[in-house]
Structure 1
């Protein structure tokens, strides 16, 4: 595969580029807590975006749990993240970038008709990279619950 240099307009987000692997934990009032393994791939494209792909598996059984794909953007210096999930949920985020820390708040959460039962209404993602460690948390409001932490993970660049 041909190596692509990041577009200059995406420069402040290049600290995210890489393949990241690690473990996380999921909690929410309506489910049993669970541990998972995760791989995230963030790579540049010729345009001013970074492609994002994520997949998780159950920590004990290796059974696939979740996947999502999207794009990081930086129009006018404002970080944005657009994500599509195979469950029929689409998230659009905007936020702030402070050094190597992103705080992204959903501006839109869209649901396909078959995803309506998830009733996700709000998502907040915080991502921070220190050296070769990426830590993130994801909070969500869904199924009648207020915005609260759902996922936390620590991944290492490989």
Structure 2
């Protein structure tokens, strides 16, 4: 597989805007492991090999277990995730697949049982950020392992 283009070189301003989103996310206080789980789950749904490769490696560097990484695709059937993580993973799926059913009230209520409004908005931004990266990587055919 060959990349279609180098997105960073093709439009540096657009790429810098995405990096600013990542800088914002770093300032939100969201747990780094949780943010990586969001990135992996959205990337699984979107089929983004580049992002899956990057974020599974990043998650391992944070000390996440192989078991939790491997079973993330089946988190509902695996007992290794906290109630907050489960709520956030359900939100990640709902926002990533928003055209299917929006964000159901039950999903919203479950997340809000664990986070305040500010953190909820940070989670929405996290989910939107990785979905945007997925779309950039897939559209430009970014190849796993190239960065």
Question: Does the TM-score normalized on the shorter chain lie above 0.5?
Answer: no
Greater length-normalized contact order (CA 8 Å, ≥ 6 residues apart):
2
Structure 1 length as normaliser, TM-score? 0.28
TM-score (structure 2 length as normaliser): 0.29
Higher strand share: 1
